């Protein structure tokens, strides 16, 4: 039997308990026994060629619905479709849960929504060719068809810019940087973790040996003079706008890949200038032509639309627990993406996996003692906003005591309600297969996770790392003193190819990895929901004092776990 046949047939069937010294694995660890029959059904549904729906969900989300920029009509359209799917599967409480009211009037950091609805960017002289690129989010378009010559501006200081370019930029496209020096890609772009790399993640980092200096003796650093009158960097974009430039071109990465992120969501459109990120190869051709003394003319017609105070929300749905429905297990990842592609590896594929895990749990009638909830977060790319607000609103305790506006508009503390929360499992590291999980420094949970990964070891999940990882939505839970965890995934092409780039399409997803991840996420949700006790918390500092009573002699601390 070949490897593929084994994984899709035998491995999809019911699992028999791993034996250690003639005893079931769970019993040998003194842990609760695992329901292998239920896990076998989950695996069969997730891995079956005819039963899996994860790629169908992913295709509709990415191919049909498209990008999901926070605050755009696209993310609302996608959210509505996901809610309809969850209702078809029989999930309860499916809906778009609005973010809490923001008493500051800034709509929780989104005073404006934005979307690109047309992008035409083309060189017309001395040679005609299309230019691959896209508007940077929250920047204006061209207000119709425009045409202008290119100039290369590399000066950064105010005095140099004004001396060289005052009165010379009206009607010009500004290339704001020198062309990059692109290096050949000698190593494979797509990668999986080796066993040695996974072992390294599992080994706790050691502090320096007693008496040793990391890296050898270091010369003393001379004292640095204080600079309390430091001025911010000069705003070149404002200079270009005031001089009447048509727009600003930038580039990065190369090899057909370009990061296209976001500009300012707070500056009014009429105070900004069109900004376009361009593929390095095309940018370099234009810039070098200008350096050769050739006049390059670009024609453009870009339409970017703005929306005041867009509705902001997270997407939620759940399966109610049979014995302790008030206690919650959450699985999920961030729903938002950037607009340059369809956000497959960041993070639509993970959202499809989380939805598939919920569908599998419901379709197989998996017994769940606690409620399992899926949450797909909005505003992650702008600072974990959706998950942070959700944790504060439902459980309280994010970086101190959060507040909420009451009916009179007064800020009042949010009551901390941690006793009913079991754990959160996040998926947001590209499209690769799950190889392990980060315990976030929680040593007490490591043996539990080691037991839970046993039924999925043949799917490639083998390691528990004691280390902490950040930069995604489990951090919102961890900062509140709640168990929040991120899986270890194969990187594949995530860096440098698809993460935040114009290449992040459905084609970057690996179907076998997506199916395996669906089985693992559904299994972890079930195991957490049926665990006999609450999952262990990490020791936390004392609760900060009530609002209005500053803590003396110490910086703000995170609240203690129950």
Model confidence at 101, pLDDT cuts 50, 70, 90, reads confident
The yes-or-no verdict on residue 549 having pLDDT over 60 is no
pLDDT of residue 19: 32
Shared domain for 302 and 317, answered yes or no, is no
- Looking up residue 65, the CATH number of its domain turns out to be 3.40.630.10
Query: pTM for the whole thing?
Result: 0.87
- pLDDT reported for residue 12: 43
Do 294 and 438 have their domain in common? Answer: no
CATH number for the domain harbouring residue 297: 3.50.30.30
Whether residues 290 and 318 share a domain: the answer is no
| 424 neighbors 486 (Cβ within 8 angstroms) | no
Question: Does residue 461 lie in a domain region?
Answer: yes
pLDDT in tens, 496-530: 899 999 999 999 999 999 999 999 999 999 999 99
Within a domain: 124: yes
Helix (H, G, I), strand (E, B) or coil at 268: coil
Cβ atoms of 115 and 305 within 8 Å: the answer is yes
- Looking at the fold, whether 292 and 392 belong to one and the same domain comes out as no
Residue-range definition of the domain harbouring residue 275 = 114-181+235-307
Whether residue 437 is found in the same domain as residue 357: yes
pLDDT in the model for residue 417? 81
Average pLDDT on 246-263 reads 93
Helix (H, G, I), strand (E, B) or coil at 180: coil
**Residues 66, 77: Cα–Cα separation, whole Å:** 9
Same domain, 387 and 260: no
Domain limit, last residue, from 259, 285, 307: 307
Looking at the fold, whether 353 and 411 belong to one and the same domain comes out as: yes
Does residue 195 sit within a domain?
no
Residues 156 and 42 in one domain: no
Task: Answer whether residue 368 is part of any domain.
Answer: yes
Say how far apart CA 518 and CA 43 lie, in whole Å.
9
Q: Verify that 297 and 418 share a domain, yes or no.
A: no
pLDDT, tens digit, 9 for 90 and up, residues 258-311: 998 888 898 888 889 999 999 999 999 999 999 999 999 999 999 999 999 999
Question: What is the pLDDT, as a whole number, of residue 319?
Answer: 98
Q: Do residues 285 and 407 both lie within one domain?
A: no
Q: How far is CA 372 from CA 153, 316, 454, 561, in A?
A: 55, 11, 21, 21
The SS3 call for residue 318 is strand
Spatial CB neighbours of 96, under 8 Å, sequence gap ≥ 6? 76, 79, 80, 83, 311, 313, 314, 315, 316
- Under the banding of pLDDT at 50, 70 and 90, the label for residue 416 is confident
Beta strands 173-175 and 146-152: pairing type? parallel
Contact in structure between 448 and 483 (CB atoms under 8 Å): no
Neighbours of 324 (CB within 10 A): 15
Q: Concatenate the DSSP letters of all residues of 208-221 into one string.
A: PPTT--TTS--PPP
Number of domains in the chain: 2
The string of pLDDT tens digits covering residues 309-339 is 999 999 999 999 999 999 999 999 999 999 9
Single residue among 307, 332, 356 that ends a domain in this structure? 307
What's the pLDDT band for 252 if we cut at 50, 70, 90?
A: very high
């Amino acid at each position: 039997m070949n490897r593929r046949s084994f994984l899709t047939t035998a491995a999809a069937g019911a699992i028999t308990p791993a034996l250690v010294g003639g005893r079931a694995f769970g019993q040998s660890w003194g842990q609760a026994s695992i329901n292998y029959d239920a896990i076998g059904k989950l695996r069969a549904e997730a891995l079956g060629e005819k039963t899996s729906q994860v790629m169908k969900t992913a295709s509709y989300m990415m191919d049909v619905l498209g990008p999901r920029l926070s605050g755009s009509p696209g993310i609302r359209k996608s959210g509505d479709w996901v809610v309809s799917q969850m209702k078809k599967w029989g999930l309860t409480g499916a809906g778009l849960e609005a973010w809490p009211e923001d008493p500051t009037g800034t709509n929780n950091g989104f005073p404006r929504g934005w979307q690109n609805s047309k992008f035409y960017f083309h060189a017309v002289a001395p040679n005609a060719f299309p230019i691959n690129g896209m508007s940077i989010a929250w920047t204006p378009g061209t207000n119709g068809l425009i045409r202008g010559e290119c100039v290369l501006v590399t000066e950064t200081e105010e005095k140099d810019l004004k001396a060289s370019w005052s009165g010379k930029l009206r009607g010009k496209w500004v290339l704001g940087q020198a062309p990059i020096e692109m290096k050949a890609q000698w190593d494979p772009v797509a990668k999986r973790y080796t066993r040695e790399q996974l072992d390294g993640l599992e080994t706790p980092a050691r502090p320096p040996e007693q008496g040793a200096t990391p890296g050898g003796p270091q010369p003393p650093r001379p004292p640095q003079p204080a600079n309390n009158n430091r001025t911010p960097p000069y705003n070149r974009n404002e200079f270009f706008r005031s001089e009447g430039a048509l727009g600003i071109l930038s580039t990065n990465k190369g090899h057909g890949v370009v990061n296209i992120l976001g500009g300012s969501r707070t500056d009014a459109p009429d105070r900004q200038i069109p900004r376009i990120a361009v593929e390095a190869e095309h940018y370099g051709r234009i810039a070098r032509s200008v350096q050769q003394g050739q006049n390059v003319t670009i024609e453009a017609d870009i339409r970017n639309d703005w929306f005041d105070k867009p509705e902001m929300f997270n997407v939620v749905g759940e399966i109610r627990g049979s014995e302790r429905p008030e206690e919650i297990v959450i699985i999920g990842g961030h729903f938002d993406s950037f607009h340059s592609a369809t956000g497959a590896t960041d993070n639509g594929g993970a959202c499809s996996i989380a939805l598939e895990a919920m569908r599998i749990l419901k379709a197989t009638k998996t017994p769940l003692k606690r409620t399992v909830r899926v949450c797909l977060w909005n505003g992650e790319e702008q600072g974990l906003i959706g998950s942070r607000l959700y944790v504060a609103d439902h459980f309280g305790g994010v970086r101190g005591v959060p507040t909420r506006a009451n009916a009179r508009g007064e800020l009042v503390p949010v009551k901390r309600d941690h006793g009913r929360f079991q754990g959160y499992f996040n998926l947001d590291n590209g499209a690769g297969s799950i190889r392990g999980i980060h315990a976030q420094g929680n040593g007490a949970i490591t043996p539990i996770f080691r037991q839970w990964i046993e039924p999925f070891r043949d799917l490639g999940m083998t390691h528990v790392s004691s280390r902490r990882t950040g930069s995604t939505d489990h951090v919102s839970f961890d900062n509140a003193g709640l168990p929040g965890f991120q899986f270890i995934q194969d990187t594949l092409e995530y860096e440098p190819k698809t993460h935040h780039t114009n290449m992040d399409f459905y084609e970057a997803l690996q179907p076998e990895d997506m199916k395996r991840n669906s089985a693992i996420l559904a299994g972890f949700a079930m195991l957490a929901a049926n665990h006999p006790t609450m999952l262990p918390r990490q020791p936390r500092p004392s609760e900060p004092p009530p609002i209005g009573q500053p803590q003396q002699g110490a910086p703000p601390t995170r609240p203690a776990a129950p």
